[in-house]
Amino acid sequence: MSARNIDLDKMQHFIDRCCKTESECGKCDRARCLVGFAQTALAYARQKNTTRIPRGHELVPQDDLRVYYQEDLINALVEVLHQCQNCRDNHEEECVINVTRRALELALLGENFDYEGSASAYLMQVGRHNPEVGPKLLQAYQSRKND
């Protein structure tokens, strides 16, 4: 998969809106912030002109306890899911979309879910595990898909 099939700038736009800025969060520490990590992952992919982030899925910060704005996270995650190539059997854990999705879902849902290269299967799984956020995510995804 080449980087030109993915609109990194569009993903960046939605992820940037999730950043609470230093006025709300205090001093920025991107390495420990899920949104900052997602921004860094996209910057890396853009700089290296690649879609693979070596060990990226292992580097997602697990100890970020910030409370983000749910609507912003949902919109960002929906954009990331729309960028997904639905690669199914060719899904790579190191894909920039997967790495970014893992950071955002951890910020939104507090846990990571298995992703097997299908946005639809993923949304169904999230809906089963999180009946509060899952339907909102599915509705936002379907609305975005119809735009």
What's the confidence (pLDDT) of residue 3?
A: 47
What 3-state class would DSSP assign to 52? strand
Length of the chain: 147
pLDDT band at 24 (very low <50, low <70, confident <90, very high): confident
Phi-psi region of 85 (alpha: psi -120 to 50; beta: other; left: phi over 0): alpha
**Tell me: the pLDDT tens digits for 40-82?**
999 999 999 998 999 998 999 999 988 899 999 999 999 999 9
H helices of the chain, in order, are 8-16, 21-25, 34-48, 56-59, 70-83, 96-109, 119-129, 134-145
